[in-house]
Amino acid sequence: MKEYSGYDTKVNGLLIDDLRRSKGGNTLFVSHYFFALNDGKDLIFYYNPMHFWDKMPIEKVDNTVWENLEKECAVFINFNPDSEPKSKATDNKTSHPAFFPETPRIGNHYSCLGSRIVSHHQHYYFLGNYGGCLKLKTKDLTDYDLGNLLHWAVMTKTPNYIKSIFDLKCFKKPMTSNSNTIIGAVIGDVIGSVFEWNNIKSTNFDIFNPKCDYTDDTVLTIAVADCILNKKDFAKTIWVYGRKYRGRGYGGSFRNWLQEDNLKPYGSFGNGSAMRASAVGFAFNDIETVLEVAKQSAEVTHNHPEGIKGAQATAAAIFLARHGKSKQEIKDYITETFKYNLNFTLDEIRPNYKFDVTCQGSVPQAIVAFLESSDFESAIRLAISIGGDSDTIACITGGIASAYYKQIPQKIIDFVVDKLPSEYIEIMNKFDEQYDRK
């Protein structure tokens, strides 16, 4: 769907014009950073009243979108912008210190004759001429408030880095399964994301850091899962995902690979092959197939023996864990098959362990983090606690821990799923339906 960043009469009118056109049968949803109008034919999105964003036919809108809009937004039925408001301007408003913040990360500023409205973090702030300020939850907006928003001049719009309406929370689909497969790796990536360049040498940290976000580990984990689910080509699919989800922390060689069309491997032994391999360990029922498919998923980029070995070791550990093997059995198999030295403790290496993006310098450490853990959360905490490439180490550990413990706290799942595009959630749901064999 095309994105528009300004008013375009050839595409769509102002929100107030569309409300007038459809006043006999419309529903308007107002969040703290977008408007959505159901005019009976289309669901139309606006950055703010003067900036049309996108639209889609009603018949193509999933029920989950309507449910999320009802939950997230103030809702107005058959709103006529030219009628007298029925509600009082001060309903449900509370006093708040006057302020004029910088343009919000997500939000808008509105102004008229010195008075201002700022939408920010699920609230609207009404600032008067003389320094007063009233705060109102978005869900509590009245028709009087909406009239002000529609008629006042717009100063700024939602930043353009929200490239698609499908990145909006209302399009987020719920996890329909009690997932215990690849979401373990995704959780490790998301929670570890804030520590990759800000290492912490402790297990005592907030795993619900609001700055957490998914990185390249998640993008490529989902890409490999998509390949397995839909029998797609590894090289082409990984290339497509990497180009679609740019700026997620890819390594330099991989970024260069994304600029090419010939899709030839580049001999890497980086841990990128291991971080994306968890789906392989969950999808197949014999170790020979796991090792072969892990090799195939790795060698499209990481065709160095160590790169392939890292992917195979990760997938094999997951395969063994989900088949009920003990930690000692998993350790013995990895040691004997891949010649990784796992005879160390995290306490021994933590003081001097440094950033190492090679398979041989991070996969053994991730496996030991799992071996020392007592449950899923402790595995993630231990993986991050050694420092280094925190999100990738935790991603590898998380996949194994998910397969072994088969239980992930729902609060952690909910926190991470809220960070993900709907496309990823849909793939995880389908993957779980097919391969979650608890």
Binding-site residue positions for Mg(2+)? 215-217, 389, 391-392
- Which tokens is 90 given? 């001060």
Query: Which residues make up each annotated binding site?
Result: 215-217, 389, 391-392
Residue indicated by tokens 């459809």: 22
* DSSP letter assigned to residue 132: -
Q: Which of 181, 178, 208 is nearest to 193 (CA)?
A: 208
Q: Within 323-386, where are the H helices?
A: 327-338, 346-349, 363-372, 376-385
CA of residue 121 relative to chain centroid, distance = 18
In the sheet that holds 35-38, the strands lie side by side as 51-57, 42-48, 35-38, 27-30, 74-77
- With b for 16 or more beta-carbon neighbours within 10 A and e for fewer, the 85-119 pattern comes to eeeeeeeebeeeeeeeeeebebbbbbeeeeebbbb
Question: DSSP characters for 63-86?
Answer: HHHHHHHHHHSEEEES--TTSPP-
Alpha-carbon gap, residue 296 to 235, rounded angstroms: 9
Q: Which amino acid is at 127?
A: L
Q: Which amino acid is at 95?
A: S
